[in-house]
Structure 1
Amino acid sequence: MHFPSREQIAALRERYPRGTRVELLCMDDPQAPPTGTMGEVIGVDDAGQLLVQWETGSSLSLIPGVDSFRIVQKGGQS
């Protein structure tokens, strides 16, 4: 498994700050929320995955470059 560099993690955290609202377009995972589900980014882990709290109650992470999603509203820096 390839892990992103510190610089790549920092860039992801800047692009997807806490509070960013996202819409799921496609995720190849049997536990994935339905397409169109909205969620809120609660952080970016050290592996570069977006930690998301989905409106369904799920907390399944998004993997940029693998999962398909779009930013609906950018969050603010805390």
Structure 2
Amino acid sequence: MQWESWSAFWSMGGAAFFVWGSYGLTFALMALELALLFRRQRDTVTRLLRWRRAVGKSSAKKGGAFAPAMESET
């Protein structure tokens, strides 16, 4: 579709509110998804570090060496 001017492009033939609103909403939801993803990653890393410290302290109390709990580390 060809537009006569930039103002005609931005008005989208009277449907600008719906067109640009949907683009804006999509962008906002994608930004929210990224923010929640980074927050979940930070919380997971914090939880894993806390668990690692707890496992390390409990194995030190028993007198044994630290044994990795994950199969990929063995």
Query: Which TM bucket (shorter chain)?
Result: under 0.3
Choose between structure 1 and 2 for higher RCO, CA contacts under 8 A separated by at least 6 residues. 1
Higher relative strand content: 1
Larger radius of gyration: 2
Higher relative helix content: 2
